[in-house]
Amino acid sequence: MPRLLPLLLCLLASLACAEPAQLRIQGSNTIGAALGPALVRGLLQAQGASAIERQPGVSANETTLHAVDRNGLPLHIDIAAHGTSTGFAALARGEADLAAASRPISDSELQQSSPWMAWR
């Protein structure tokens, strides 16, 4: 968790500079079901975003946040909380920008990951 927050803050800070942006967070249901959406909402508010709306996703433990940044650009953040292993797998497939993890990555998950994830 200590590594997650700084990365989340950096990624969300970049949203304010982009055109219609999308951030995809997948992984731990311990983090993503309630804490993740609350952190995203709080950071968006701190960055001056408006019209922040949280909507349920297609499946259980999925959430989408929509907002408008201070420059009037739309923001779209998807959060899917189906377990830490799903976050690592989604990163490896390029289907997530951030993995929410409530535990360290396992050796087998690391072997299946992209080369850029070999930071462990």
pLDDT score, position 11:
55
20: pLDDT confidence band, cut at 50, 70 and 90? very low
Average pLDDT, the chain: 83
All domains in the chain, ordered by first residue: 22-117 (3.40.190.10)
Written as one string, the DSSP assignment of the chain is: -TTHHHHHHHHHHHHTTSSSEEEEEEE-HHHHTTHHHHHHHHHHHHTT-EEEEEEE-SSTTEEEEEEE-TTS-EEEEEEEES-HHHHHHHHHHT--SEEE-SSPPPHHHHHTS-GGGTT-
Mean pLDDT of 27-48: 92
